Amino acid sequence: MIEELAVVVKIANHQVWVEGGQSSACGGCLQKASCSTHALGSVLKQKSVPVDSEIPLNIGDKVIVAIEESLLLRASLLLYLLPVLALFTGAGIADGLLDNSGTAELWIAGSAISSFLLSLWLINKVQQVWTFGHFARPLVIKKVLPAAYECLGD
């Protein structure tokens, strides 16, 4: 399981929302100007994510959130591989159906882009159902006590 420190920002309708924080190592790193982790962390830092929790929590509590590696791998394949496959499939189908006229290349490019955009739309629809299903959400595995904050680099 992949674990990350997060802060509870909202509790509504028996649902816990957390925000992940940038690690404190990024603050003192000399390479942060050219580091993609620092850049992505600063952009995505404020995104709240719903998580499952069996532990009673309050807003502001620091927790350890975990997610299965296999789920992360499947999501990566879905997000990266499917659009590329759709792009080439759309271009291949259009190439097979069209003759070599002057506008065939334009139709092939349009078909490739259309199938690419369709795959992104489908991924968005699947994500709304699959990612936020109970089996796919990150899970709060423990609440971090205030005395342990210093040990985690915060």
Q: Which CATH number is 88's domain given?
A: 2.40.50.140
pLDDT at 126: 77
Tell me what the mean pLDDT of segment 107-115 comes to: 94
Cα separation of 39 and 147, whole Å? 30
Q: How far apart are CA 125 and CA 151, in angstroms?
A: 40
pLDDT given for residue 43 in this prediction: 42
pLDDT reported for residue 88: 95
Angle of helix 104-130 relative to helix 69-97, nearest 10 degrees, comes to 150
pLDDT digits (tens, 9 = 90+) for 27-84: 556 555 555 455 445 544 567 777 878 888 888 888 888 887 887 787 788 788 999 9
Question: How confident is the model at residue 45, as a pLDDT?
Answer: 56
Domain that holds residue 12: 2-152
Q: Is the model more confident about 20 or about 142?
A: 142
pLDDT (0 to 100) of residue 44 = 42
Question: How many separate domains does the chain show?
Answer: 1
